[in-house]
Amino acid sequence: MTGSRSARRCLSAEDLALAAWPAAVGKNAARHTRPVALREETLVVEAGDEIWQRNLELLSGQILRNLAAMLGAAAPRRIEYRLAPPRRPVRSEGGAPEFRLNAQEDEAARIEDPVLRRIYLRSKRKALAS
């Protein structure tokens, strides 16, 4: 990174390492991982599943070389891989609880078209559930 001297003055070593991660591992691996912190000289990375975690552990040497080429002395010396926490809580098997929107259903009642009303209610439920 030849033009990054000003960035290095403005950003911390952690910011630089987190920003360099996608370029160091490539688009595909970056989609399945997320760098979360730089602790001392160790970059902490969350992997989407155990397979990605194991594969990246095998490639750690190459990834560290890529980071060193981009960041120089600010590059991490080690990478710690962790499994990412699940994004959504697992629902119980007892079925979905009854869900009422109250005010939103009143809004939906004003939509005359039944198909559009159903689409509106589904999208509201999804938005409130996430």
Based on the fold, state whether residues 121 and 63 are members of the same structural domain.
no
Based on the fold, state whether residues 13 and 47 are members of the same structural domain.
yes
Q: Give me 14's structure tokens.
A: 């952690």
Based on the fold, state whether residues 79 and 103 are members of the same structural domain.
no
Report how far apart, in Å, the C-alpha atoms of 6 and of each of 51, 79, 105 are. 38, 26, 53
Q: Give me 61's structure tokens.
A: 């040497």
Based on the fold, state whether residues 41 and 101 are members of the same structural domain.
no
Based on the fold, state whether residues 40 and 104 are members of the same structural domain.
no
- Mean pLDDT of all residues belonging to the chain: 81
pLDDT in tens, 43-96: 999 998 899 999 999 999 999 999 999 999 889 999 999 998 876 665 555 555
**What CATH code is carried by the domain that includes residue 36?**
3.30.300.180
